[in-house]
Every structure is written in structure tokens, then in C-alpha cells.
Amino acid sequence: MQKQEQDKLVELHVTGMHCNNCALSVHKLLEKKGYANVFVSFANEEVKFTSHDEVNLPQVIDAIEGLGFKVQQENQEVKSGFLSEIEHKFLFALVFTIPLFLHMFLPFHWLHQPYVQLALCLPVFILGCAYFGKSAINSIKGGVPNMDVLIFVGSTSAFVYSLIGTLLALGPSYLFYETTATIITLVLLGNVFEKRSVIQTTSAVKDLIKIQHTKAIRVLDGTTETIDAKDIHVGDILLVNEGDQIPTDGDIIWGEAAINESMLTGESVPVEKHKYDAVIGGTLIERGSLRITATKVGNKTVLAQIIDLMKRAQAAKPPIQRLGDKVAAIFVPVVIGIALLTFFLAYFAFDLSFRQSLMNAIAVMVISCPCAMGLATPTAVMVGLGRSAKNGVLIKGGDTVEEMTDLRYMVFDKTGTLTTGNFSVRLMDSTLPDEDLAAMVYGLESYSSHPIAKSLVKAFQDKPKAKLIFTQVKEEKGLGIKAVDSEGNSYQIGSKQLVTNRTDAEGFDVFLLKNGILIAKIALEDELKPDAAMLMQTLKEQQITPVLLSGDRKEKCIALARTIGIDQVYAEQFPQDKLTIIEELKTKGKVAMVGDGINDAPALTTADVGISLGNSSQVAIQSAKVVLLNNELKSIITLLKIGKHTLLTIKQNLFWAFFYNVFAIPLAAFGFLSPMLAALAMACSDVVVIGNSIRLKFKRL
């Protein structure tokens, strides 16, 4: 872990990657150079990697651009000529292709002249060589041939064949310029569709990024100035008025407001915020006005971290994608082999003409589209993760989607997870004066983020307190707080584990010891979350066994389990005991763990899927694979539904991608599809796969 913190992170903006094969070639290149944690997203045009040694950035950029992609560096002016956009390339090619293609139907004799056709085809062919040819050659150099190899070889074969026919005046039977131009133009059209579809699949991340780009009003020496959110520094005082977006994370120092946090939690009901409350950048003030002091800026804000997590999650591959990746990696050489075999069998075995044999071989190359297989998984994952994020569920990895659909057990912590974590003091038993007890309990529990500790701090914060100074404080997972005051007295406050041998501990939840002597016992009441019983019923209907795993008292756990319908209960467990139970359950099937405290972090990490609540401790959030930003248990039902439908979409996409190739290649090989029809069909296959993924964005779950 220490090593990773010292590693240098490099982030690059790489354009020109239009499918998973492109991303794979960049990924392999960087791995060959010895870089770690390589992350490549063709949809977001991002490349990230880490290196323990100094990175020779110009060399890395040259290597990536050597594969046919363009690295856009920060603050670099982008030269955008007319042909830099794929849409413009398509329009340019279309202008020359239409008259060339229509010569077969129009009575203009000059269009039938070989050199006129050559003149019309040549600009399109040069454009194709520059776009597909460069990418094809560089992909072969990189060891991962992409689909551009097939397009380049197919269109070049038709062009060279036609050029020889023109130069040797062999007649119209040797002219296939319209085939060359139409292949390139239709594939460019397919790329236009693909680009626009991928933009839709990544819209959830782009919507969040737009939220970051806002203005802020900074208060300085009694005056105000408008600045960009990226120019905010920690400690700046910001004024945020009604209707404004909060520009960064901060704490309220003046004012009250109702804040819409739906972009974070999916919950549209505004949250009332008061002085000293924390606010999150990107949320919207619906009523009121605030002054806040900035506490987190830039990539440290909650929104920035969510965006980064979503990007990484969208690039993480589910196990089901490995099959698609393996096939895509060997697909191009196999197709070229099939095309050559088609040509030789047609020409030598079936006595077809050289012209027809060549057309069949070209059709095989053009119709074969590994892009559809490469796009099948990432597009579905992007849409699924985007939809879950808009519903207040942050999934940290595409692989988590598949694991969620195959769960056997879902294990729940009790306090703060199945219950609200809002405790009230039901009973206190102590011989101490009220002021001394309040000072000890408030002073000790203020060092913990556990829900019980927070409730006790709240219960004692308004009570008169004696002054008590602690010189040493330590929180022990599953036990509580240990401390030493300025006079050398030792204190312990925590669960029943502190007083295991006492008979008078029954009915109490929190125990306070001074110098090893029990001086106070506190009984608490906790409130059950409203969706808990409904969730357990839903899990059982889906053949997932709910399990209660808690450090709380056995009688309390059993009573709660009976109320909401959990049959399997493990009570009074230490963090290390929770690990053992999780590992035991994992031997019987996939296990998800839902928790919120520091003591749950090891179990969240050990489970196949760790699920944390949005108001959990940072340790729990970092340990989990899923974060429920709105803190509602019903979000788990949303998570299960989105996981199920995302995996179903991936399977449908892979089926159509494989079926398309299995069905189309033989048709092309036997001459039932011309190269032009093959190019059109190839473009359609990508659109079908991406369209099916986009359907997940709107379909009823």
C-alpha cells in the first residue's frame, strides 16, 4: 500500500480510440513498458497508469501516437481542421461516393469512364488510407490487430484490382471503384453512429462533470468576486444564494437553507441544513442563502471522487467480458485467414472468376466486425452504472454487476444499517454526579464516528459538564474507546465485551469504566429502518438468504431478526469473528455484506460484494464495492434489479455480436453479400449492440 502512494500517477487524454480493441492495444503497450494500474477508457478518451520510476512522458506519448491515436496534452491548443471530426470525414467521402455509386443507375456516359471513376474514388481512398490504414498498420505493430485492418485490406484490394484494370484497359468488369469508396463511406457512417451512441452511454458521467463546471462567489474583505469553481482554495469563504449550485464541499458558517441533494442521493426531497452542517459541492439550494467555508476542493471533493470511481467502474471488466476480449484479440487474423481461404476455394475449387472470388473475400473481411463484440460489455456496463448512480447507488466496478446477480447470502450489520442509528437513552445507572458523567461520556464518545457514539454525544451535548482533559485516546474495533486523562486516570467506554463476567450487565448497552472499575451503565433504544422488513422479503423471493451479523447483545439481535424476518443470526461478534463467519459463508456461495462502521470494514473487504451506506465512516466507504448514497435499504433492491438487467443486456449484446458474425461470414463467403452490403451490415451491427445498451437506460426494471 505504501508503494502505491509513492507511485507517480500519469493521466492522458487520448483521442481516436473507437472500440475496445483500440483500448486493448494501448493497454498492452503500457503493460509491456512495465507500467502498473493501467486504466484505458475508449469512451471517456482517458488513459491512466502509475510508475514507481520517473516516467519518460514524451516517449510514452510517441508510443501511443505510434498506434494511430492522438494524445491531447493539457493547455494544448487543439487544431481542429474540417477533417478532424469523424462526421466531417463521412460527409467528405459521401460527396465523392454518391456520383460514383449512382453511375450504375444514371445514364451519364462520362461517369462510366475509368479515369473519371478513379478521380472520384482517389480522394475517398486517400482519406481511408489516412484514417483506417494508419490505424491498421500501427495496430499490427502493437500486436493487437484491430478491425481497421479488415477495412483497409478489403478497400485496398478492390482499389488495386480496379487500378490495374484501368491502367491495362481491361474493361468495366475490372472496375470496382464504387466498392472501394462505398466500403470506406459506410464504415465511416458506422463510426459516426458508434460515436454518438457511446456519448449517450457515458452521459451519466458527463452530466456529473458538467455539475463541476460552475461559478462561485468568493467573499474577501467584505467584498464579493465571481470566480470559477476550479479556482477555489481550502478556507475560502463563499456566498451561495437561493437557486445557486454549491460550488465545492464545505461547512456552513452562516445561514439556513433547504438543499436538493438528488444528484448525489437520488432523493428529490430537500434536506434542511443549518450552521456548522456540512454541504456537498454540486448540490442545489432551493430555499435560503448560505455562507460556507471551503473544506475540500478539486479532486478531493465528494463529487470528484464519485466521478473518478464511476469512470474506473465503467472500465472494470466483468468476468463475462473475458470471452469477448479473447475472441476480439484473435478475431482479425482468423478473419483474414477465412477471407484467403474463401478466395482460394472459390477460384480454384469452385471455378469462380477471379473477380467474383476477390469480391467474396473482400465481403468476408468487410462484414466481420469485432467492434460489436468489443462494445457489447462496456456500453452495457456504462449505462447500468450510470442509471444506478442517478438512483443514488454508486457501484465501484463493472465486475460487481455480475457478482450481484449470483448472490447466495446477504449479511447485515445491525446498528446504523438495519436500524436508523438514532439512539435515545432509555435508562442510566450510575453513582456519579450528572456533570461528571456527562463530561466523561461526552468527552470519550466524541472521538468515535460509531452511530451509538454519535447518539450519546448528541444526548449529552446540552447537559452541564465538568472540564475533563484527555491526553491519550484510542478506539478499539468492537470494544469502544480507551483514554487517559491529564491526572493519569484510565477510562474505557464501550460494549458488553468490557464486562463479560458481571451478572448485573443484563439490559444495558454501554458501560463506562474508570481505572478498571465499572462506574456507569447506559441502556439505549434504537429505531428500525422502515424498509428493512420489505427488503428481507424481497431477498428471500430471489433465493438470497439474509443474515444478521452484529456485535450487539444476543437478545437484541434475535428480537430485531424476528421483527423483520431474518432466520440466521450471529450476535456479540468481534470484527475478527465477523471475518470468520463471512469466510465460512463464502464456502457455500457468493456473499454480500452490508455495513457502515469502522468495525465492518474488514468484513466488507472480505465479502464478494461489500455494500456501505453513504453516511458511513470513510473506512467503510473505501472498503465497499457499492455505496448507497441515499442511505436507504430499498436502494439494495434497485441495485439487484440494475445488476440483473445489466448482465442480461451484456448477454444479449454478446449473443447478437457472435450470432451476427457466425451468420454473416458464411453468407459473404458464398457470395450472397456484396462488399457494399457487407459494409452497411457491419455498421448496423454496432448500432444494434449499442442501441440495446442504451435501452437499459430507459427500460422498466
Helix (H) / strand (E) containing 504: none
Rounded to the nearest 10 degrees, what angle do helices 147-167 and 321-344 cross at?
Answer: 20
The active-site residue, picked from 148, 244, 399, 413, is 413
State the alpha helices, DSSP H only, in 78-176: 86-102, 114-128, 134-141, 147-167
- Among 695, 26, 646, smallest CA distance to 313 is for 646
What distance separates the 2 farthest-apart alpha carbons in the chain?
113
Residue 280 contacts residue 246 (beta carbons within 8 Å): yes
Question: Which strand ranges, in their side-by-side order, compose the sheet holding 424-430?
Answer: 424-430, 517-525, 510-514, 490-494, 480-485, 470-476
Q: Name the CA dihedral angle for 485, 486, 488, 491, rounded to a multiple of 10 degrees.
A: 0
SS3 603: helix
- Among 607, 588, 643, 610, smallest CA distance to 417 is for 610
Q: Name the CA dihedral angle for 319, 322, 324, 329, rounded to a multiple of 10 degrees.
A: 170
Residues 655, 673: Cα–Cα separation, whole Å: 22
Rounded to the nearest 10 degrees, what angle do helices 177-201 and 147-167 cross at?
Answer: 160
The set of cell numbers assigned to 633 is: 435499504
Residue 550 contacts residue 418 (beta carbons within 8 Å): no
Residues 411, 20: Cα–Cα separation, whole Å: 36
Cross-strand bridge partners of residue 358: none
Q: Count helices and strands (H / E) in the chain.
A: 24, 24
Whose cell is 469452385? That residue is: 350
DSSP3 helix / strand / coil % (the chain, rounded to 5): 50, 20, 25
Instruction: Please confirm, yes or no, whether 413 is among the known catalytic residues.
Output: yes
Show the beta-strand stretches assigned E in 443-552: 470-476, 480-485, 490-494, 510-514, 517-525, 545-549
- Among 589, 158, 199, 201, smallest CA distance to 357 is for 158
Cross-strand bridge partners of residue 518: 513
Rg (CA), the chain: 32
| 315 contacts: CB under 8 Å, gap ≥ 6 | 39, 40, 41, 44, 378, 398
How far is CA 370 from its chain centroid?
23
The set of cell numbers assigned to 274 is: 443549518
Residue 614 contacts residue 628 (beta carbons within 8 Å): yes
Residues 161, 114: Cα–Cα separation, whole Å: 13
CA atoms within 13 A on the CB side of 126: 8
Active site residue ranges: 413
